[in-house]
Structure formats: C-alpha cells, structure tokens
Amino acid sequence: MNTDVDKFKRSIKTTAYSRFFASRRYSRLNNFSLFALSTSSFSLIFITLMQKYSSGLLFQSQALELYQLISSIFIAALSLVVAFANYAINSYKMLKSGEEINFLLSLFDDEKFDMNVIKARYQRYKEKSDNHNHIDYVYGRRDRKVEESKTDEKFNVSLYVKIQYFSPFVLYAAISLFFILTFIYTLFSYYNNYVLNDYSNALFCNGLFFGG
C-alpha cells in the first residue's frame, strides 16, 4: 500500500464530502429562510386585511402598529439576508465543486496515473469555488469516516460545532413559528369575536321569534 497515495485520496474524499455537506446545508438554509420570509409577509398582509375589513377591531391600534413595525423590520432584514447570502447559488456551486473533486478518485483506477497531474487538478478545482467552512469540514470528515468504517462505531461532532450548525436554522424556525402563531391567534380571535357572536345572536333572535 502506498501511504502517500492513500492519504491524498482521503484528503480528496474529505474535501468532496465537505463540499457535498455544504451544498445540503446551503439548500436547507435557503428553504428555511424563504419559508420564514413567506410566513412573515403573509402574516402581515393577512392581519392587516383582517383588521381593516372586520366589522370590529381585532387588535388595538397601537398593538397593530407595533406588530406592523416589527414585521416590517423582520421582512426587510430577511429580504437582505436572502438576497446577499445567495444560499441557492452557493448550494449549486458547492455541489458542482464536490462532484469535480470526487471525480478525481476515479483517476487512481488507472495503473499509470500521474500523481502530479491529479494534484494540480485537485488544486485547480478547489480554487474554482469558495471554500467550505469549518462546519462543513467536520461533518464531511465524519461522513467519510462513517462510510469507510466497517463497524458500528459512531463519530460524534462536538457540541460547539453543532451549535454553530443549528443556530441559523433555529433562528429562521423561531421567526416562522412567531408569525404562524400570530396568524393562528388572529384566526381564533376573529372566529371567537365575530363568527360565534353572530351565531349566538342568530340563535337568540330565532328563540325570540319562535318563542314569542
């Protein structure tokens, strides 16, 4: 076994797997951020329309103005994040880079492979796109070890890295949850204040009419 070749192949695979993980991470971030932006925008529009066209007030004017202000800030911030983060584009770039780097492993199947040529292509492929970050490297290396492992051994990721990875997802999920709960509360308030009241009034009137 050629130790240098094996180490280089592991390095290639780790880089490729890190790029693949980065692609999946950016794709998930794109979905979470767009969902948070959609729920906040829809909730703001829906509540404003419900307040305007309801027969009575669902919210106090000051509370509604505060909600509209907070929602506008969230929507503006999310719009800037989605626009400048380019999650979808970065996901595609990382996937393409990972596929190119992973292809280099097949070149070792040729008995006459040239290590210098492969190293040059490896370096060129790495420089073609932005590098993955430390989170992607940790998870990519773990995925490689899991694939190569012949046992049920678990390769754990440190708590610090997990916090780094999940933090943006938790933030987007919290924003989405806040606006979803606000939407549900508005529906409940409208149903409780107007639908049930109208139904109770109708029953009362019918009772007076038939009872009288």
State residue 60's pLDDT score. 76
Most confident of 18-27, 53-62, 66-75, 127-136: 18-27
Residue 126 has pLDDT above 60, yes or no: yes
Residue 169 has pLDDT above 80, yes or no: yes
- List pLDDT tens digits, range 75-96: 998 899 888 989 999 999 999 9
DSSP states along the chain: --HHHHHHHHHHHHHHHHHHHHHHHHHHHHHHHHHHHHHHHHHHHHHHHHHHHSSS-SS-HHHHHHHHHHHHHHHHHHHHHHHHH-HHHHHHHHHHHHHHHHHGGGGGGSTT--HHHHHHHHHHHHHHSPPP-HHHHHHHHHHHHHHH-SS-------HHHHHHHHHHHHHHHHHHHHHHHHHHHHHHHHIIIIIHHHHHHHHHHHHHHHH-
* Global model pTM greater than 0.95: no
Position 162 confidence tier, pLDDT thresholds 50, 70, 90: very high
- List pLDDT tens digits, range 36-45: 999 999 988 8
Residue 3 has pLDDT above 60, yes or no: yes
Range of the domain at 98: 3-211
Number of separate domains in the chain: 1
